[in-house]
Amino acid sequence: MPELQIIGGPASNFVWVTRIVCAEKGVPYTHISAMPHTPEIDAVHPLGKIPGMRHGEVTLGESRAICRYIDQVFHGPSLVPTDAAAGAKTEQWVSIICTAIDPIMLRQYLASYIFPGTPDGSPDRTRIDAALPKMEPQFALLDRTVAKTGYLVGETFTLADAYLTPILYYMGTRPESSAMLNKCASLPAYLDRNMTRLSVRETKPQSLPGTARR
């Protein structure tokens, strides 16, 4: 079988997700670090975004498509339950994380610290302050959800948890988001438990620009 390549900068939460899936399934792969819109990425992703994937003649972009391909092509436990309702709820939470949680917590809030675009490079307080009221109900929703069983769906670690864990990890690196996280009743323990999973520990980025390690 040809070599599986995961392509993209390791600090990307979406790259991290695809690597967690590989580790959970026991799939060997080569990680090629590359930034968006570089030749390595442009060759596999139609929009030049990360992550990308190459497996022989098969190239893919978009983390969910990559995760689905890996899940279907390789042996090993699936992170999407086979039960119809549980599988659909897993996809529901993946969609919510990608379309609602990620855009606010990472693209708006965290990016305003790491890539502020301000003249002096200081955090963009306007965008940060605008994100905070949107983040509070999101933390509350996630906290209520994981309080039920300790996971987003059912009683086992699913693809939804693989998507959420990197985001919460990064939220623990900034003052306002860390305070929101730590005020939650269930999310801190949820994150701590997920961070001890072998698949998460093995794939955890070594560093993020301007970010302290948790």
CATH number (1.10.3720.10, 1.20.1050.10, 3.30.70.20, 3.30.390.30) of 84-198 reads 1.20.1050.10
pLDDT in tens, 120-160: 999 999 999 999 999 999 999 999 999 999 999 999 999 99
Q: Is the peptide bond before 205 cis (omega within 30 degrees of 0)?
A: no
Instruction: Tell me which architecture the domain covering 4-73 has in CATH.
Output: 3-Layer(aba) Sandwich (3.40)
Instruction: Tell how far CA 77 is from the center of its chain.
Output: 19
Domain(s) of CATH 3.40.30.10: residues in the chain? 4-73
pLDDT tens for residues 72-130?
999 999 999 999 999 999 999 999 999 999 999 999 999 999 999 999 999 999 999 99
What residue spans in the chain does CATH classification 1.20.1050.10 cover? 84-198
H-assigned helices in the chain: 13-25, 39-42, 63-73, 84-96, 102, 111-114, 125-149, 159-171, 175-183, 187-195, 198-203
